Amino acid sequence: MKTGKSRILFLFGALILLLVFAFPLWSITLYAPQYPDGITMYIWVNKISGSTESVIQNINILNHYIGMKYIEPDTIPELRYFPYVVIGMTVAGIVIAIVNNKWGYLGWAVVLVILGALGIYDFYLWTYDYGHNLDPTAPIKIPGMVYQPPIFGQKMLLNFDARSYPHWGSFFLGLSVLTGIAAFVLKTKNR
């Protein structure tokens, strides 16, 4: 059962990918004098949630002063089809594990990296859109000011100190990639 190890490892990687349904991929926390505890928005593969039930409403209320579009999870198509992509990758992973092909392992991991990168780029496009396409009738208009939150790190947006970092979901996604590669390496060595 020498080859079993890499197969089990690969299968494990394909399955922990499903943990992106249990944990958010990313978090954006806003601190301001009026929000000493901060308000946190969590971005999941299939939804947007917050540190309290009403976070999206509360962020939208704040954003309307600068003319930012309302964040309405129902209008973000990615939240509808990303879950299928994840499930598809897990299913593909299981099939590859059955076939037990080392190039399949590597290929799967590479596809996952590409998908992850596309996801982050997509996230960037959304934040760019929210931050730049502002309502011209907004009560607060500051020439030259854009409100795109950072993808990674910290940035001041008027009175808000915005901090954006990957969350556990991204960690598990990364772990899936690494186990895929590890399975490939293990299988290659065992030959």
* Closer to other proteins by Cβ: residue 49 or 101: 49
Nearest CA among 158, 160, 89 for reference residue 118:
89
In angstroms, rounded to a whole number, what is the distance separating the alpha carbons of residues 23 and 20? 5
Question: Are the CB atoms for 11 and 97 separated by under 8 Å?
Answer: yes
Strand-pairing partners, residue 154, are 163
* Closer to other proteins by Cβ: residue 20 or 62: 62
- Minimal distance, residue 18 CB to other proteins, in Å: 31
Count of C-beta atoms within a 10 Å radius of residue 67: 16
| Contacting positions for other proteins (CB under 8 A) | 53-54, 57-58, 61, 65, 139-140
Structure tokens at 126: 């959304």
Question: Are the CB atoms for 129 and 60 separated by under 8 Å?
Answer: no
- Minimal distance, residue 36 CB to other proteins, in Å: 8
- Minimal distance, residue 74 CB to other proteins, in Å: 15
* Closer to other proteins by Cβ: residue 40 or 170: 40
What is the chain's length?
Answer: 191
- Minimal distance, residue 160 CB to other proteins, in Å: 13
CA atoms 139, 145, 149, 155: torsion sign = negative
* Closer to other proteins by Cβ: residue 58 or 101: 58
* Closer to other proteins by Cβ: residue 65 or 81: 65
In the numeric block, the tokens 């309302």 are attached to 70
- Minimal distance, residue 67 CB to other proteins, in Å: 13
